Homo-oligomer: A and B are copies of this chain.
């Protein structure tokens, strides 16, 4: 059935209205914090700080830039794997991330960074947190890739960021759970949010666009750009807002090791599951990252290097098997169409990460991480473990309930989403250049002519 996918009014309207709203709200609420303001000089004097290097900027900026690359190139290129949806994959990721970080600065600001004068004071840590917040929505986009309009994505992001900020406030500020790399707050929430939306927006006739649902050779190589930048910079993701000093240092080591182990188990399961042991690019592009997801909560804990290897080892096995067995099952039986398989890459490893965090926290005094954990809220390790587990449930609940509500909104027939037969096709929302093949056929005579000339 044909649908009206004309977004010439709706997309510009949403972009303009929301951007102008951002400007007004920033005007009312957002100011530089003491470290990014010219008052830094007084601040230094008052705190008796001897050097500009003590500005948080120098602790966090390199990690921030790595996280920034993960959000825009990592997530963006990971979603270019479809043969005719690379523009939409990387382009819409760009759009909603750029909107989401602005809205996140406000939402997280109201909850975390409100100063006595009623202003949100921002610095580099806010930028990192805004990028983190947006990551949840980009994960959700992964489930809907190719099946929604950019207007729907803007709505998904508006509500996703809002829900994220509330959920994050409950988990980190009220429950005092720790989650520096966001296994629960980002990955679990984002994945269940996206999966529930995809479930609400179920398309029974999606097989009409089946011929566009795969990859081609080059699009798989493009996707590897995304995979590798995510994989390489994940240690920065899990350490970016960890404690200065040994906290950041340890978070990097733990994540580096978990990810290394993930690669080997992903290759192993991918090979064993296929005739002749041939490897599947879908697994390599995704499940190799499961260790980073699963290390998010415990990244700063004294989980030990071999503990990190075990986390990476197990999470990738589960993730790869998810791609092989669960994704088809979910589509057929549960009516959840999960384009990028975020259930395997974010939901399951995120839950594992939450559980690992809870266990590590609960057994902290036994493994010397005592100081780190107890510093949180004057709790015993066991109780902290319980609160960590509670945080996990909050994240899942927010994902499911929020996804159902937002899914309902997105089901309204006003957002310009594509017909089933037009899913996964950039033609719907983009001016696509004439095809390489067509071009070759039509222009070859000219080209040969031209090429023959220079030396004539």
- Asked whether A110 is an interface residue with its Cβ less than 8 Å from the other chain, the reply is no
Which of B65, B259, B268 is the one whose CB lies under 8 Å from A12? Answer: B268
Complex Cα distance A275/B429, Å?
11
Complex Cα distance A288/B453, Å?
30
- Asked whether A377 is an interface residue with its Cβ less than 8 Å from the other chain, the reply is no
- Asked whether A9 is an interface residue with its Cβ less than 8 Å from the other chain, the reply is yes
Give every chain B residue within 8 A of A225 (Cβ-Cβ): 73, 77, 225
Complex Cα distance A76/B229, Å?
12
Also in contact, A32 and B252, with CB within 8 A (given A54-B51, A98-B263, A418-B454): no
Least Cβ–Cβ distance between A157 and chain B, in angstroms: 11
A38 near B302: Cβ-Cβ < 8 Å: yes
B309 near A278: Cβ-Cβ < 8 Å: no
Also in contact, A435 and B216, with CB within 8 A (given A265-B19, A455-B6): yes
- Asked whether A176 is an interface residue with its Cβ less than 8 Å from the other chain, the reply is no
- Asked whether A432 is an interface residue with its Cβ less than 8 Å from the other chain, the reply is yes
- Asked whether A409 is an interface residue with its Cβ less than 8 Å from the other chain, the reply is no
A425 near B439: Cβ-Cβ < 8 Å: no
Which of B8, B249, B453 is the one whose CB lies under 8 Å from A271? Answer: B8
Also in contact, A454 and B436, with CB within 8 A (given A11-B267, A221-B87, A264-B98): no
Give every chain B residue within 8 A of A65 (Cβ-Cβ): 62, 66, 232-233, 235-236
B32 near A302: Cβ-Cβ < 8 Å: yes
Chain A residues 200 to 226 lying within 8 A of chain B, measured CB to CB, are 208-209, 211-212, 214-218, 220-222, 224-225
- Asked whether A277 is an interface residue with its Cβ less than 8 Å from the other chain, the reply is yes
- Asked whether A55 is an interface residue with its Cβ less than 8 Å from the other chain, the reply is yes
Complex Cα distance A66/B450, Å?
40
In the complex, identify which listed stretch (A20-28, A386-394, A395-403) lies at the interface while the others stay far away. A20-28
Complex Cα distance A208/B211, Å?
34
Give every chain B residue within 8 A of A217 (Cβ-Cβ): 84, 86, 432-433, 435-436
- Asked whether A365 is an interface residue with its Cβ less than 8 Å from the other chain, the reply is no
A281 near B32: Cβ-Cβ < 8 Å: no
- Asked whether A135 is an interface residue with its Cβ less than 8 Å from the other chain, the reply is no
- Asked whether A80 is an interface residue with its Cβ less than 8 Å from the other chain, the reply is yes
- Asked whether A188 is an interface residue with its Cβ less than 8 Å from the other chain, the reply is no
The digit string for A360-379, where 1 denotes a CB below 8 A from any CB of B, is: 00000000111110000000
Least Cβ–Cβ distance between A140 and chain B, in angstroms: 19
Give every chain B residue within 8 A of A428 (Cβ-Cβ): 454
A72 near B231: Cβ-Cβ < 8 Å: yes
The digit string for A413-426, where 1 denotes a CB below 8 A from any CB of B, is: 00000110110010
- Asked whether A127 is an interface residue with its Cβ less than 8 Å from the other chain, the reply is yes
B98 near A15: Cβ-Cβ < 8 Å: no
A306 near B265: Cβ-Cβ < 8 Å: no
A221 near B32: Cβ-Cβ < 8 Å: no
Give every chain B residue within 8 A of A370 (Cβ-Cβ): 38
Chain B residue at minimum C-beta to C-beta distance from A98? B263
B15 near A90: Cβ-Cβ < 8 Å: no
In the complex, identify which listed stretch (A240-248, A322-330, A346-354) lies at the interface while the others stay far away. A240-248
Least Cβ–Cβ distance between A220 and chain B, in angstroms: 7
Give every chain B residue within 8 A of A454 (Cβ-Cβ): 2-6, 276, 418-419, 422, 427-428
- Asked whether A37 is an interface residue with its Cβ less than 8 Å from the other chain, the reply is yes
Give every chain B residue within 8 A of A90 (Cβ-Cβ): 221, 224, 228
In the complex, identify which listed stretch (A158-166, A178-186, A440-448) lies at the interface while the others stay far away. A440-448
The digit string for A268-303, where 1 denotes a CB below 8 A from any CB of B, is: 110110111111110010001000000000000010
Complex Cα distance A7/B273, Å?
11
B260 near A306: Cβ-Cβ < 8 Å: no
B38 near A246: Cβ-Cβ < 8 Å: yes
A31 near B80: Cβ-Cβ < 8 Å: no
Given contacts A38-B302, A102-B260, 17 further A-B contacts (CB under 8 A): A12-B268, A22-B309, A36-B250, A38-B370, A55-B249, A65-B232, A94-B288, A127-B252, A127-B256, A211-B442, A214-B434, A216-B434, A216-B435, A216-B436, A278-B429, A281-B431, A422-B451
Q: What are 14 inter-chain pairs, A to B, with CB distance below 8 A?
A: A8-B271, A15-B271, A38-B369, A40-B246, A44-B245, A68-B232, A72-B232, A90-B221, A91-B224, A91-B284, A101-B256, A102-B257, A211-B446, A276-B454
- Ranked nearest first, the 5 interchain pairs of A and B with the lowest CB-CB distance are A8-B277, A98-B263, A52-B245, A40-B246, A15-B268
